[in-house]
Amino acid sequence: MKFNPAQAIQDLRQFGEFGGVNPSITDSSTYTFLEGETMEETFLGQMEGCFLYSRHWNPSNKYLADALATMENTESAWITASGMAAITCALLQICNSGDHIITSVTTYGGTYAFLKNWLPKYNIEVSFVDITNLEQVKNAMQRNTKVIYTESVTNPLLQVSNIPELAEIAHSSGALLMVDNTFTPMIISPKTLGADIVVYSMTKFINGKNDCVAGAICGSHEFVDQLSNVNDGTAMLLGPVLDPLRSSSILKNLNTLHIRMKQHSKNAQFIAESFQKEGIKINYPGLKNHPQHELHKSLMNREYGFGGILSIDLKNLKSANNFMKKMQDAGVGYLAVSLGYFKTLFSCSGHSTSSEVPVEVQKEMGLSEGLVRFSVGLDSDIEDTFEKIKSCL
Ligand SMILES: *Cc1c(COP(=O)(O)O)cnc(C)c1O
């Protein structure tokens, strides 16, 4: 039977201290021990179920981590205070000075900046490739390549990564495949397709409320043990711990993720098809004319659709800005960065979430300065929303 991420979460049973249907929130940074010996064993990571200090593990984050591991079908997971913390800690755990990373050139702007500007300072080499061109990926492999990094569906151009093929390329040389699945939780299950590590910005769809910033790393027991090792674990030593109060609210939101993803996808599909009928070019993986439509279909868990993100190219910045202002005034949604919110959000990628990418590189990868990215909301009357959008064009 095919893996079903929503059913996996549904089947998970987590209770509060007094039998509460929601796990209790652990409002403590430190924990008492009855004996000194137990403290030492806990410190060394040998005592399952014991907690020492909340930057290391805390029970609330452990519940959320267990739920995410269940959703991703990985052995384990780790919670971080942001998506960027998840990405940077995971990469720095794997790579040492002298190592090499291959990445999709189209990634989230912050990720791009980290790979481009930050890692070279520590002598970690990065090759930027067109991730849809597998020959280019193969040719970029070096003896010291430790990771191939990509996004399941890339930001903001919505290219779809061929996860099984990329995994094969990585594994054939002893490298790992790390996938940022922020755009497509439940829609794509990267681990079941061959990825080794799945990272998330939970700030987006997973939490879905835009009331906090958070991230996660899903992988093997061994990898999560490495991340949390007191001597050399990046998550432990760089210290981006999420507050337990927040992780508890994210856990509750995770339980409605499957319904939200279906509605985001349904609404986005409607908007995309309606634009297309009007003869307006739209970039959405759920349209047959999307270059990786068939690939997306072959990778996805069908019932969740093609996701809530689409983009439309207004060619120049001035038109894009006018369009977005009109849409905000007409009540389509908000002119704001971020995504996965219950209301529709739109922003001009080249001048916001991808502004870290130099203009020449934006041009090269096909990111026009007038590209408006939509995160389609949970609108109950999407036909009405489309009419509003159309009137603003
Ligand atoms: C937002 C985002 C990130 C960064 O996450 P934060 O929670 O803002 O740190 C990483 N990857 C993608 C695809 C994103 O959309």
pLDDT bin (cut points 50, 70, 90) of residue 172 is very high
Residue nearest to atom 8 of ligand 1 (CA): 83
Q: Is 204 in the pocket of ligand 1 (CB under 6 A)?
A: yes
- What is the pLDDT at residue 19? 93
State which ligand 1 atom lies nearest to the alpha carbon of 107. Answer: 13
Length of the chain: 393
Q: What is the pLDDT of residues 358-386, one digit of tens each?
A: 888 888 887 888 999 999 999 999 999 99
User: What is the Å distance from ligand 1's center to 245 Cα?
Assistant: 21
Closest CA to 171 of 139, 147, 199, 137: 147
Task: Count Cβ atoms below 10 Å from residue 329 Cβ, excluding itself.
Answer: 11
350 has pLDDT over 90:
no
Burial of 197 (0-12, 13-18, 19+ CB in 10 A): buried
List, for residues 12-65, the tens digit of each pLDDT value. 999 998 999 999 999 999 999 888 888 888 877 767 778 889 998 899 999 999
Pocket probe for ligand 1: among 179, 180, 204, the residue whose CB has the most ligand atoms within 8 Å is 204
Identify the residue whose C-alpha is closest to ligand 1 atom 11: 108
Per-residue pLDDT reduced to its tens digit, 238-254: 999 999 999 999 999 99
Nearest Cα residue to atom 2 of ligand 1: 201
Task: Pick the residue whose CA is nearest to atom 4 on ligand 1.
Answer: 83
CB 114 within 8 A of CB 103: no
Cα of 209 vs centre of ligand 1, distance in Å, is 15
Phi first, then psi, for residue 5 (nearest 5°) are -60, -35
Q: Is the CB of 203 under 6 A from ligand 1?
A: yes
Q: Dig out the tokens for 150 from the structure.
A: 């990509």
For residue 1, name the pLDDT band (cuts at 50, 70, 90): low
Q: Would the pTM count as exceeding 0.85?
A: yes
Cα(156) to ligand 1 centroid in Å equals 12
CA–CA separation, 188 and 165 (whole Å): 15
Measured in Å, residue 371 CA sits from the centre of ligand 1 at 19
CB 296 within 8 A of CB 336: no
What is the number of other CB atoms lying within 10 angstroms of the CB of residue 240?
A: 18
* Section 89-105 average pLDDT: 98
Which atom belonging to ligand 1 lies closest to the Cα atom of 87? 10
Summary mean pLDDT of the chain: 95
Q: Is 155 in the pocket of ligand 1 (CB under 6 A)?
A: yes
If pLDDT is split at 50, 70 and 90, which confidence band does 90 have?
Answer: very high
Domains and CATH numbers, the chain: 5-254 (3.40.640.10), 258-392 (3.90.1150.10)
Q: With helix as H, strand as E and coil as C, how does the chain read?
A: CCCCHHHHHHHCCCCCCCCCCCCCCCCCCECCCCCHHHHHHHHCCCCCCCCCECCCCCHHHHHHHHHHHHHHCCCEEEEECCHHHHHHHHHHHHCCCCCEEEEECCCCHHHHHHHHHHHHHHCCEEEEECCCCHHHHHHHCCCCEEEEEEECECCCCCCECCHHHHHHHHHHCCCEEEEECCCCCCCCCHHHHCCCEEEEECCCCCCCCCCCCCEEEEECHHHHHHHCCCCCCHHHHHCCCCCHHHHHHHHHHHCCHHHHHHHHHHHHHHHHHHHHHCCCCEECCCCCCCCCHHHHHHHCCHHHCCCCEEEEECCCHHHHHHHHHHHHHHCCEEECCCCCCCCEEEEEHHHCCCCCCCHHHHHHHCCCCCEEEEECCCCCCHHHHHHHHHHHC
Q: Please give the distance, rounded to the nearest whole angstrom, from the Cα atom of residue 86 to the centre of ligand 1.
A: 9
Which atom of ligand 1 is the closest one to the Cα of 86?
A: 9
Residues 284-339 pLDDT 10s = 999 999 999 999 999 999 999 999 999 999 999 999 999 999 999 999 999 999 99
Name the pLDDT band for 7 (thresholds 50, 70, 90): very high
151 lines ligand 1 (CB under 6 A): yes
Between 356 and 270, the more confident residue is 270
What is the bridge-based pairing of β-strands 197-201 and 215-219? antiparallel
**349: phi then psi, degrees, rounded to nearest 5:** -55, -45
